[in-house]
Amino acid sequence: MSARPEHVEAASLEPGLARDVDYAIDVQGLSKSFGINQVVRKLSMRVKRGQIYGFLGPNGSGKTTTIRMLCGLLTPDEGRGTCLGMDILTQGRAIRRHVGYMTQKFSLYADLSVRENLEFIARIYGVPDAEAAAAEAIVSLGLEGRERQLAGDLSGGWKQRLALGACILPKPQLLLLDEPTAGVDPKARREFWAQIHDLAGAGVTVLVSTHYMDEAERCHEIAYIAYGELLAQGTVEEVIAGSALHMWRVTGPDPAALARELMEVPGIELVAPFGTSVHVGGRDRTALELAIARFAAREELVWRPDSPNLEDVFIDLINRSRDNFR
């Protein structure tokens, strides 16, 4: 019997897959419905090996469903593609052997200790010396002193660290991390991201879903999905440049009231209060400038041209996608 890993065999069995070698994920036209609800629509994405790919979108937009299709846990109704060079339709089991999937909900055993959880995962994945691997993970995760604590009693940040540790224990080539930092404090998030970058530096590909804009900016590339449709993808700079939004920032008394007033003005498509100022934007530059000119007599307001940020772009995308969807 060959000792080669399964994905190498898969690639050599199907010559057509050889071109996919640079992509950890390469899928085309994935769709999925639950009952009458189509929750993922003709989604295509490519993630280069060793990249950190951010997956963003509002609640219920289809991120988790997509992640589950990528590792063969859900079968798409339409579409095809590969994950680590293996077919997502037929080789799910083999794919999952090389993928670390951190689910959106804490999915370790709450009534097992930290050490027991890690040893258990190591055994399931057939890691040769499970005890030694768990002990090593405890040190590398900084969990010494907590190894006997029940996983269910850990704080949110430590639970997340343990879950990531369990994911990487079998040394996967691809990590699918579904909102791994939800509810985690900024220091723990920062440490988490340093670890993700170390893993990517070592060649691991990471697909991470998040609602945090600062985390999107830490990714090599991002994708934005709404109503099951992939609306933008590329580097953060590319996504912002692709938006064609023109922005102004206006400062004045009572920004909340000002924001409500601005929302009613034709030509202004985007209004977002930010602290003491309001971010105002639109895609039609002339219409936007005409709208702003209406406020010229209001001396208490100070207007400055501004650049769109990622949040502006996403809000604009979802506004337009909602209109199309209706």
Ligand X SMILES: Nc1ncnc2c1ncn2[C@@H]1O[C@H](COP(=O)(O)OP(=O)(O)OP(=O)(O)O)[C@@H](O)[C@H]1O
Residue 61 binds which of ligand X, Mg ion, none (CB < 5-8 A, kind-dependent):
ligand X
Q: Of the ranges 71-79, 96-104, 136-144, 185-193, which one interacts with Mg ion (CB under 5 A)? A: 96-104
Least CB distance from residue 157 to Mg ion, whole Å? 20
**Range 281-303 burial, b when 16+ CB lie within 10 A, else e:** bbeeeebbeebbeebeeeeebeb
Name the segment binding Mg ion (CB under 5 A); options: 61-69, 110-118, 169-177, 198-206: 61-69
Q: Judged by CB, which is closer to ligand X: 38, or 309?
A: 38
Residue in the shown chain whose Cβ atom is closest to Mg ion: 64
Chain residues 104-143 in contact with Mg ion, contact rule CB under 5 A: 104
Q: Residue 59 binds which one of ligand X, Mg ion, none, with CB within 5 to 8 A depending on kind? A: ligand X
Least spacing, CB of residue 227 vs ligand X, in Å: 9
Residue selected from 64, 82, 103, 210 as contacting Mg ion according to rule CB under 5 A: 64
Question: In this structure, are strands 37-48 and 221-226 parallel, antiparallel, or unpaired?
Answer: unpaired
Amino acid identity for residue 272 in this structure? A
Residue 218 CB contacts under 8 Å (≥ 6 apart), including other chains: 52, 54, 193, 196, 197
**Toward ligand X, which CB reaches closer, 172 or 228?**
228
Q: Tell me whether residue 61 or residue 321 sits nearer to ligand X (CB atom).
A: 61
Binding site for ligand X (CB under 6 A): 34, 39, 57, 59-65, 104
